[in-house]
Chains A and B, each alone.
Chain A
């Protein structure tokens, strides 16, 4: 009797962590991992939104078609360019703001709150805000430009302007978030390092380059990876800011995948796009991780 109850107690102990983990793991399995595998399966079929039953296996045909799909290639090129442009801009902006806020200025909490607060606004509303300011001849933007004595310019109807508006609005709404990460890292650098460098006669720039920048390595890597993944999946902001236009100038992969699936109903084909995108994001962040982690210094 006693032995049995001991055993069941032990069993309960052993199963406890699994039971505590169960709700999360069931949700992950059902709504993330399982769908990911179905997505891979779909990508080898001719599935449409109206396919009931088993779709036909068509091998690599979707992938072959993708390579000739100019619209997809354009959207893909567009997102790569956006990542290449936006990641360094947000990275630098947030680092500079963080550096500003660790200087001896008064009212730090107030400034920090001001710079962080756009992070709280949904991307849909961020799109509305900048659309309302930038669009048209009589928006605040063009009115201001005219009042300064310049001619009004084409804003969101100009492909290049629209594209850079996406970069700008994204930077505006996300710089505060990465600023906080950089600030935490900056504040954890021991001040004795700076004092020693000052004694040695290092100037401001030398101190930044030889102490601050190397010490920020983990934070830099973190910000870089988070940012890259975030920009790759940009979509909601674009919905209200430009709608993907003009002339698909701001149409990026997620929007193209969404439209292929839910407006052209080509589930199999859009799944192939998702797989390609996933591989690309993983490769991109993974590569970066290894390049930076494997770097020479500490």
Chain B
């Protein structure tokens, strides 16, 4: 019994190293001076600590703009996502109406149409609507997610009907009920949705790839990918950018670990 426990800890430690060391190595490398980055015998941690790569990445051009664009997209899209997915989840959880089954099927079918497969016609649609090469193209379409709707629906079903009914009898409008009863009662689910939505938008590459062409509208992911593909890619600033792009997610993760785990687990329990 005792021995098998020790084995479990050893496996857990080895796994932790596999999942953690590569990330630490990249962050460490981003603080290495040029000669250490391309040394024939790389060390795990920098011998001489420098911010040169970061300074260069920022000077190199629009790096601060990419960070700003990523924040604008992730935050705005998350606010819209929370609002409209909660609205839809509420409609599906608390109303019986004609065509509700069909609507659920339509929403489910969008899961089977991944963006990666319909990117060409989406490009045409974005151009037709004048959204091409604007940040709006990254904010609005991506805010509607089937996962978000079902997450909210599942949670809102647990709110007792009586609260809603009594508010109706008191003469509250449906919108008022939504704002002052449904939203405050759905806080845990909203937190989960908001965190996931922020992560999806922050880490997304495909939408920016299809929708953005001007460099001053790049998000961080698009900028990192495009600089890597460039001839003679300058890895020192790419490492710095990669490290910076991980930081907000790391902070979000440390604060909201519980929501991440619950959100992931509930998506798995649906099956």
Contact = CB atoms under 8 A, between A and B. Distances in A.
A239 B116 CA distance: 14
A61 to B, nearest CB: 17
Contacts of B225: 124, 236, 239-240
A103 B246 CA distance: 31
Contacts of A285: 112
Nearest to A235: B116
B271 A222 contact: yes
B106 A33 contact: yes
Contacts of A180: 261, 264-265, 268
Interface string A112-140: 11111110111111011111110000111
Interface string A79-103: 0000000000000000001001001
B40 interface: yes
A113 B261 CA distance: 9
Interface stretch (B54-62, B184-192, B202-210): B202-210
Contacts, number: 265
B271 A17 contact: no
B260 to A, nearest CB: 7
B106 A25 contact: yes
B212 interface: no
A183 interface: yes
Contact of A21 (B40, B103, B116): B103
B155 interface: no
Interface in B92-127: 92, 95, 97, 100, 103, 106-107, 109-110, 112-114, 116-125
Given A32-B110, A132-B26, A222-B270, A39 B84 contact: no
A131 B85 CA distance: 37
A115 B260 CA distance: 13
A38 B124 contact: yes
Given A117-B253, A124-B225, A125-B224, A138 B38 contact: yes
A128 B117 contact: no
Interface of B: 5, 8-9, 11-12, 15-16, 18-20, 22-23, 25-26, 29, 38-42, 44, 83-85, 87-88, 90-92, 95, 97, 100, 103, 106-107, 109-110, 112-114, 116-125, 129, 140-141, 143-144, 149, 174, 178, 199, 202-206, 209, 221, 224-225, 228-229, 235, 238-239, 242, 245-246, 249-250, 252-253, 257, 260-261, 264-271
19 contacts: A16-B91, A18-B91, A20-B91, A21-B103, A35-B118, A39-B121, A103-B8, A105-B5, A105-B8, A116-B261, A122-B204, A122-B205, A128-B26, A129-B25, A129-B26, A138-B39, A218-B271, A235-B116, A236-B206
Interface of A: 12-14, 16-18, 20-21, 23-25, 27-28, 30-36, 38-39, 42, 97, 100, 103-105, 109, 111-118, 120-125, 127-133, 138-140, 143, 172, 176-178, 180-185, 188, 218-219, 221-223, 225, 229, 232-233, 235-236, 239-240, 243, 254, 257-258, 261-262, 267, 270-271, 274, 277-278, 281-282, 285
> Which 3 pairs across A and B sit closest by C-beta, in order of nearness?
A181-B268, A222-B271, A122-B203
